[in-house]
Structure 1
Amino acid sequence: MLLQGLSAFPITPADAAGRVDQAGLGRLLQRLVAAGVDSIGLLGSTGSYPYLSRAERRGAIEQAVASAGAIPVLAGIGALRTDEAVALARDAFAAGASAGLLAPVSYTPLLDDEVFAHFEAVAAASDLPLVIYDNPGTTHFSFSPALVARLARLPQVVAVKGLAPAAEAVAAHLATLKADVPEDFSVGVSGDWHATEALLAGAAAWYSVAGGLFPDACLAITRAAKEGRAAEARQADERLQPLWAVFRRHTSLRCVYAAAEILGITDRAPLRPVLPLGEAARQEVAAALRAAGLS
């Protein structure tokens, strides 16, 4: 199984015209490589993939692959049109990505059969393994367990990244997803503040926004959970509660940009029309970093 453990999702710092700040991205990647994350999730939602051109996306993948060494790089290949997603998948494969994160980006709400056909076409057109990228908060499409099972029968589709529910529901959620997929199909979760209980309940991977900036803290949770040290995992998660609180209050994307600036890693702002946090919220992020021992 390719996708296990901590998959760290960094921001993609860029200027106002969408040109990637290679030095800033390099500093973020160095943190992940030094920590030894299990994979790097480049150009995810936190990586602002819809706001970047095809050329900038390919350049970012090439930089990440060159930096990552043996660490797998997963690259976002979501696009409005199927032919665009095919081109992005081919680019990612040529650049050395280990898998593509395919979200059903849409303006017109999509039907299950349309999403299946979209994945089928991308899978047939490239040798890139595909991860189902279930992020209804941004795409406004939710994958049912039945659709995940149907897609998992495509040889190129190797994993699903979906939102983790609250602790009381996560075991049943994972069991439902795992019931009808191949044994080596990776069922992983996002949603940082619910991830610890999901890992303890058997999620294969944690696709983490915080992991893209604070890999050591997130690896501590991941390693403890995967090795069955539940109390240790929960204690490490408890230390990050101030961070989870500001993530929920101000969105993880905006908070991570603020945190990267506070830590002196990059002063790039989110790409417009997304605006950086105001000063009061930025101070909340700074306080959360201090309370969690991250600054």
Structure 2
Amino acid sequence: MLTGLSAFPLTPFQNEGIDEHAFVRLVHNLAEAEVDSIGVLGSTGSYMYLNRAERRRVIQLAFEHAGNIPIIAGIGALRTRDVLQAAEDAQTAGASGVLLAPVSYQPLTEDEVFDLYKQVSGELSIPLCVYDNPSTTKFTFTDELHGRISSLPNVSSIKIPGLPGNAAEAQDRVQKLRALIPEDVTIGISGDRFAALGLNAGCDGWYSVLGGLFPRTAMHIVRSAQEGRSQEASRLSEELEPIWTLFDRFGSLRPTATIALRRGWISGEGLPRPLKPLSPAELGDAAALIDRLD
């Protein structure tokens, strides 16, 4: 489950509530593309903007409409109490795994982060993926901390951010991390620009924003890398440079909503206020590429 393509769909908003019909359409698209898993309530799933009932509803909808595709649900929150509640809700609502980032308002120490994962993992009956996302959480994992956390019960995957741009350096980075974690813990790349690089360097999967919008395009990259066609995976990724540039400039959430609006998959503004989608001028040269993908 925590290998291959894990596609993370947008949680679309309309009139400050979740647009359930639009969300279900996005989930159906992922199920039809036969992605390896669907990751709801990630960063582009706006989990930090949702209350407990809304989060639970998103997981329920995904579970009901994903067919046999496993659901991975984000459970990050500021307080351990709330993370534990989210984990309980995710399991009850049908999630096959959970994704936990050490989000904070006050900066966290390594001991605090380890204790968070220790307490949460001990309460789970499903796999946990460690969400290493320093650009959002402002917490930087060391490889040694990953090694400690990955030895906890139910910890099954690490979602790492970008890698060095050189293929040899990327492979060395993945190998060094893998040497410190149990054999059954997978490594998944995020930061979509680095997906082909990470997969070619030995990552087991891609936790993908692009896959939540264009699963067939993302699957093509994943399968090319899995089948040893590394140059093809890299070429396909390079063709998506206008989208990677959008993500570099604006993050992933606003561009994702803008793309979904442009393709008619959602309506309204699509984002929780005060967030707003990009303007046509900000979308720029990426528009033509967006219109022909998948």
Give the TM-score band, short-chain normalised. Answer: over 0.9
Equivalent position SS for 1:173: helix
1:40–1:72: 8 Å Cα contact kept in structure 2?
A: yes
1:13–1:270: 8 Å Cα contact kept in structure 2?
A: yes
1:13–1:266: 8 Å Cα contact kept in structure 2?
A: yes
Q: Residue 230 of structure 1 aligns with which residue?
A: 230
- TM-score of the superposition, structure 1-length normalised? 0.95
Q: Deviations over 1:116-154 (max 9, x none)?
A: 111111122232321101111111111111111001111
In the TM superposition, residue 27 of structure 1 has moved relative to its aligned partner by: 0.9
1:250–1:281: 8 Å Cα contact kept in structure 2?
A: no
1:258–1:285: 8 Å Cα contact kept in structure 2?
A: no
Moved more, 257-266 or 125-134: 125-134
Q: Residue 280 of structure 1 aligns with which residue?
A: 281
Q: Residue 14 of structure 1 aligns with which residue?
A: 13
One-letter amino acid of the structure 1 residue matched with residue 275 of structure 2: V
Distance 2:141 2:15 in 1: 33
Equivalent position SS for 2:14: coil
Q: Residue 164 of structure 2 aligns with which residue?
A: 166
Q: Residue 111 of structure 1 aligns with which residue?
A: 109
Report 1:93-132 matches (<5 A).
93-132=91-130
Moved more, 156-165 or 242-251: 242-251
Q: Residue 202 of structure 1 aligns with which residue?
A: 202
Of the candidates 52, 61, 64, which is equivalent to residue 63 of structure 1?
61
In the TM superposition, residue 283 of structure 1 has moved relative to its aligned partner by: 4.4
Matched, 1:178 2:196: no
List 4+ stretches of structure 1 deviating above 4 A: none
Equivalent position SS for 1:271: coil
One-letter amino acid of the structure 2 residue matched with residue 45 of structure 1: S
Distance 1:113 1:251 in 2: 29
Q: Which runs of 5+ in 2 are unaligned?
A: none
1:77–1:88: 8 Å Cα contact kept in structure 2?
A: yes
1:160–1:186: 8 Å Cα contact kept in structure 2?
A: yes
Distance 1:230 1:285 in 2: 25
Equivalent position SS for 1:46: helix
Percent same amino acid at aligned positions? 46
Distance 1:125 1:225 in 2: 35
- TM-score of the superposition, structure 2-length normalised? 0.95
Q: Residue 133 of structure 2 aligns with which residue?
A: 135
Q: Deviations over 1:166-206 (max 9, x none)?
A: 33131121111101111110111101111101101110010
1:161–1:188: 8 Å Cα contact kept in structure 2?
A: yes
Distance 2:160 2:244 in 1: 18
In the TM superposition, residue 280 of structure 1 has moved relative to its aligned partner by: 1.1
2:242–2:285: 8 Å Cα contact kept in structure 1?
A: no
Q: Which runs of 5+ in 1 are unaligned?
A: none
Q: Deviations over 1:249-295 (max 9, x none)?
A: 232211111110110000243212322212311344423424xx317
Distance 2:254 2:165 in 1: 25
Q: Deviations over 1:209-242 (max 9, x none)?
A: 1110000001000000011011221222222222
In the TM superposition, residue 16 of structure 1 has moved relative to its aligned partner by: 4.4
Aligned residues: 291
One-letter amino acid of the structure 1 residue matched with residue 183 of structure 2: E
Q: Residue 32 of structure 1 aligns with which residue?
A: 30
Distance 2:242 2:14 in 1: 29
Equivalent position SS for 2:57: helix
Distance 2:52 2:226 in 1: 36
1:192–1:208: 8 Å Cα contact kept in structure 2?
A: yes
Q: Residue 217 of structure 1 aligns with which residue?
A: 217
